[in-house]
Amino acid sequence: MVLAADALTVDVAVVGLGPGGEALATRLAQAGLSVAGIESRLVGGECPYYACVPTKAMIRAADVLAEARRVPDFAGTAEVHADWGKVAARVREEITDNWDDQVAVDRLVAAGVEVVRGRARITARGELDVDGRVVRARRGIVLNPGTDPAVPPVPGLADTPLWTNREAVKATVVPESLIVIGGGPVGCEFAQVFSRFGAKVTLLQSNERLLPGDEPESGALLAERFAAEHILVKTGVKITSAAHDGQRFTLELDGQDPVSAAQVLVAAGRRSDLGALGIGVYGLDESGRGVTVDKHLRAADGLWAIGDITGEGAFTHMSMYQATIAADDILGVDNPGAVYRAVPRVTFTDPEIGSVGLTEAAARDKGLNVRTGIAQISSSTRGFLHKADGVIKLIEDADRGVLVGATSAGPTGGEVLGALVVAVHAQVPVDELRRMIYAYPTFHRAIETALADLRS
């Protein structure tokens, strides 16, 4: 029985405290609203504990190893001994506080947010049940529940002791061999990390190429590097069954020999359970993969949604961007609303793959008059000096003379991307980009070469 005294009434209830929810709850509380922040797992969400931050710490360590192994190419000799124990300890102690969110909770409480632990479900408009406690929100509810790792419906797979990203970031030893299921950003990042720390990695990808959301040039570049690093990539693969015999995993493949390894890591997309959130109360479809929102992040009257579930890009920067707009809407601050033409995406592999806006294929599908320009990083002075591969690819809407998409793949590709994000977001005329001065000899100078290459 729920006692009336247990009920909590606030101005705004935030369901799920991912990066955006945390920022939004803080902002609203600091603006003087009463705010309940409801979290069933860890305050901060996936990013700081299981995703962006620990994986980038692992990648940093793997990159240092790879760089040290290149000493013979440039500077003499070096003996490199990989020690995963250092990485695991850093992730546990420095990065995730041993998967403890007390610091984040304290920060929210100090900002004036009432933190409620538990799983929220909408029971009526402006009303939630949080594990038996009623939370009422006078002004409205903001949903920021994120997504969970999806396990593909392969017979037997869900019964094995597989890893998703949540187990992989907790790994205390590197498996002798690893099968990674999924060739998107997450699968590719993990594959390279564990391979560089000594695992024999096989990557299985159902699509015909790696990073299918990016330009084909990016997938090809990464496939080439993976081959050089002895990561076995199998594309166009269909897994028909999975088993674990207590020691090893074996996956049967359609029309190919089975593959086997000491560990399986599934990085095959994300799922959400909208039914469990109870959004049907607002007349919204619970069977879909996401919540449809307008440019102010409104899903219904008195209901906002931000982050992965809006389907505008599953990134921390998207969650935070949307949080600002939703908070403005709730506080009545003038804001023209979300603009998604220049969403940046970075896969932190080596080479690092950054992209923004439309791919060439997406631009053509939209019926734009497309011109593309390509420059190889290896042909640039900096690329030659570094003995580095990469590519800059530009997508121009020739009718308007502006870039609508771009890729920057190579050393620090995600950093070089910054210039291209400005160009796509601000719709800087291509003629203006051509008149700019690009520092010599930088990686970003290859943008100038790609601009000169723009053609139909």
Ligand X SMILES: Cc1cc2nc3c(=O)[nH]c(=O)nc-3n(C[C@H](O)[C@H](O)[C@H](O)COP(=O)(O)OP(=O)(O)OC[C@H]3O[C@@H](n4cnc5c(N)ncnc54)[C@H](O)[C@@H]3O)c2cc1C
Note the residues at the interface with ligand X (CB under 6 A).
15-20, 38-42, 45-47, 51-52, 55-56, 119-120, 144-147, 165, 186, 277, 307-308, 314-317, 319
Judged by beta carbon, residue 119 or residue 248, the one nearer ligand X is 119
Dist CA 36 CA 278 (whole Å)? 18
Give the shortest CB-298-to-ligand X separation in angstroms. 17
Judged by beta carbon, residue 16 or residue 219, the one nearer ligand X is 16
Closest Cα to residue 369, out of 395, 342, 337, 406?
395
Judged by beta carbon, residue 15 or residue 402, the one nearer ligand X is 15
Give the shortest CB-224-to-ligand X separation in angstroms. 23
Dist CA 257 CA 121 (whole Å)? 46
Judged by beta carbon, residue 354 or residue 390, the one nearer ligand X is 354
Judged by beta carbon, residue 194 or residue 360, the one nearer ligand X is 194
Dist CA 437 CA 328 (whole Å)? 37
Give the shortest CB-19-to-ligand X separation in angstroms. 5
- For 155-293, list the strands marked E by DSSP: 177-181, 200-204, 232-234, 239-244, 249-253, 256-261, 263-266, 270-271
Judged by beta carbon, residue 145 or residue 405, the one nearer ligand X is 145
- For 98-132, list the strands marked E by DSSP: 113-117, 120-124, 127-130
Element (H, E) at 193: helix 185-196
Give the shortest CB-249-to-ligand X separation in angstroms. 20
Give the shortest CB-119-to-ligand X separation in angstroms. 4
Dist CA 382 CA 360 (whole Å)? 26
Judged by beta carbon, residue 319 or residue 380, the one nearer ligand X is 319
Judged by beta carbon, residue 103 or residue 227, the one nearer ligand X is 103
- For 118-272, list the strands marked E by DSSP: 120-124, 127-130, 133-143, 148-149, 177-181, 200-204, 232-234, 239-244, 249-253, 256-261, 263-266, 270-271
Q: Which two tokens stand for residue 74?
A: 């440039």
| Cβ-defined contacts of 151-155 (< 8 Å, 24+) | 151/266, 151/268, 152/181, 152/239, 152/266, 152/268, 154/239, 154/240, 154/241, 154/242, 154/251, 155/240, 155/241, 155/242
Judged by beta carbon, residue 48 or residue 219, the one nearer ligand X is 48
Give the shortest CB-64-to-ligand X separation in angstroms. 18
Say how many Å lie between the first and final Cα of the chain, rounded.
Answer: 69
Judged by beta carbon, residue 370 or residue 406, the one nearer ligand X is 406
Give the shortest CB-289-to-ligand X separation in angstroms. 13
Give the shortest CB-30-to-ligand X separation in angstroms. 19
3-state secondary structure (DSSP) of residue 212: coil
What's the CA angle centered on 361, arms 359 and 364, to 5 degrees? 110
Dist CA 226 CA 192 (whole Å)? 7
Judged by beta carbon, residue 16 or residue 373, the one nearer ligand X is 16
Give the shortest CB-237-to-ligand X separation in angstroms. 21
Radius of gyration of the chain (CA): 24
Four-point Cα dihedral 5, 7, 11, 12, nearest 10: 150
Give the shortest CB-254-to-ligand X separation in angstroms. 27
Q: How many CB atoms lie under 10 A from the CB of residue 201?
A: 26
Give the shortest CB-233-to-ligand X separation in angstroms. 19
Our measurement of the distance from residue 420's CA atom to the centroid of its chain's CA atoms, rounded to an integer in Å, reads 19
Point out the residue whose Cβ comes nearest to ligand X: 146
Judged by beta carbon, residue 69 or residue 425, the one nearer ligand X is 425
Sequence-ordered alpha helix ranges (H) in 278-355? 316-331
Beta bridge partners of 134: 129
Give the shortest CB-258-to-ligand X separation in angstroms. 27
